[in-house]
Structure 1
Amino acid sequence: MLIISLDHARKLGLVLLVTFSTLTISGIHSAPSQHHQLSKRSPQPLSASASTYTANLPQPDFVANGEPDLDFKPMGQSDDKADFEDNDQQQPEDDESQPEQEQDEQEEEVEDEREGAVVAISRAAKQPDTPPKSLSSDPYAHYTYEKPYSPATEGLKPGKKASRTMIIGDVHGSLVGLDGFLKQVKFDPSKDDIILAGDLVAKGPQSLEVIDRARQIQARCVRGNHDDKVIRWKGFLDSKNKDVPSDLVEGSEHHKVAQKMTKEQYQYLLSCPLILTVPKELSVKKIPIHVVHAGIDPSDKMAKQMPWVLVNIRNILKDGTPSRKKKKGDGWAQVFNDFHSKRVKQGEPDFLMIYGHDAGRDLNVKQWSIGLDTGCVYGRKLSAYVVETGTIYSINCPDLGLDSDED
């Protein structure tokens, strides 16, 4: 394990460029980022190659490690515990590889009564690109808006803090990636707490097994856009209604996962709020940490964020409208950091945003936000932020043979 401390760089005001190709480190590699529609392909063997990280201050310590142990099984779990109910530059969009005419045929304009807005909706995905007034499956979403975080570790004495509270990026059904991460960071269920930044399910082959592992280790979580679709499907199926909401796709992966879910798995996923707030007392920065899946609308306060935005946002359009696409506008995190820096100077409360969702921008560390989706399910890395130390872990994941998909 390589640990790179940036304390001296901070003191000197330097921007540190860390290039692993200058070192001989067994097992470090990074798979190339791809932007295609999700498809099966032959898994590529893990290999050692160069990984480069550019740290723009302020930056946490960084820990990189090699390939995961694929045989890892968390140990020391009781039966009761197992049963517990910057780079904000625009990236090419996945559907940009389609002919322009084909794209136009897949989109329609829907009038939104709110201020006469026009919302573009992809017929294939049945997902609006900008915040809709409502979705037809909303009655089955059953949102919990915000929860305060409290440690879940059973082995701690009253009043004691966890050794590490690790906020982990998108797992997306890669159980082997999650287990390998826990092995590499020497996860201790009696001392460490896990928070999953959404999208536990979909894309990877073991969505339900990931939920079971999360339950087993008492991981906390926030709801991701893929979790949201599974929850909506499960809520609809349990309702016994016959008319499928127009924004749910029959036969989709989310539909199939929902059909196989147990009551316990559904209740766990349902327990994930849109926002999980870690108190400032736990943070090395001594400010609260808001964990969400996708991000926030920088123009609104935390208490006024729209659920759709919290699980879908990637960009902010020129007129200030949130968008889940990156064709136009700027990355929400850059806009938020600019806004928040001004607010803090004006005396408004300080806080840090931690999120996932945006694998196309990879590890995205800024002053007031950290993006942790580093494409584990695509054979890249699973990353986490340690609340108590400011350390970032980034651990290699096995290649499951999936091409990148921004949705």
Structure 2
Amino acid sequence: MLSRHRSKSLRVFVLVAMGTFVFAPTLQNVQHPTSAYKPPVAWAGIRRAEAVYVGGQSIGIRLNSKGVLVVGFEHVEDSDSPAKAGHIQVGDVIETINGQRIHSISELREHVMKASEHTLDFVVHRGEAKVHVQVRPTVDSSGNKRLGLLVRDSTRGVGTLTFYDAASHRYGALGHVITDADTGHAIDGWGTVYDSEIFGIVRGSSGKPGEKRGRFVTPQIRLGSIDSNTAFGVFGSMKHVPPHLYRARKIPVARPNQVHNGEATILTVVHGQQVEPFTVRIENKTRQTKPTTKSMIVHVTDPRLLKETGGIVQGMSGSPILQDGRLIGAVTHVFVSDPTRGYGVYAKWMLEQAHHRTGALSSEVKAN
């Protein structure tokens, strides 16, 4: 019998800032069989929008990995992990066992228990390579075959929708890549977004970023699909304009050279499902001629937001930034040492990423 993964909180994956997508362990009782959902077909030749609906809504995210991700090892009774002895590594994605494709933890468990062979042939995805590994399971005192693995096949959490392009039915959210909480590796996979609400705030302070407490409102109803998890956010398709819009009309997406230092507004949810505007200042706007993250520093100045949250908190990832009547970017990270400040990414780069061929991580994520 295989052990299920242990839930852990979001870890800092850069030295000075923390991504503001908040994992939601309270949502793990919500189950949606992955076999009932097929990854969407890649979009090609779609017309790019000059104007989009801006978001700010809280969204629930479930991201399924392509295979089963190894996040750790455990002893089997008094013996070391058989999987570790067989040279499986943390961060490996198990793709096949004895030639049989593995999509979920339950399939992994079933193949191990039913296998007649004493040694199992694994194919794992490790970085850019596929590696063949042989593992001999240990039979415990109850007669169960054990691999001594801690694994995960999906991640759930709460973030913020940035925009929706009605012309192509594409959306963008978060503004940064979703990584596994234990390994720090970017998750290559597909998934679903849901309507969510915020029921509490943990206020941030220096050295201790805060977070939104959220939950899925109608987990049986999907808002849309996820087909791409990149350095610029998660992207996918939605059939309809999402609910809870702050503005019922579309606004233009700014080019990077139209963004300037000075006053701006972010849209986000701090209570329930109501999207609200809050005042910020853009600092250290970066000149970028090609898609790159960390486009600007966002400084929260709104007194009410500072009082309620302490600044930028986890769960604000993707909160749209407006300036001069345009969508200029999205909040992506909070500075651990100063939660009133964080990074933002240009909306232009997110919109371009939304219209790229889906299903692959960006080159920037692969390089990290």
Q: Is TM (by shorter chain) over 0.5?
A: no
TM-score (norm 2): 0.23
Query: Which of the pair is proportionally richer in strand?
Result: 2
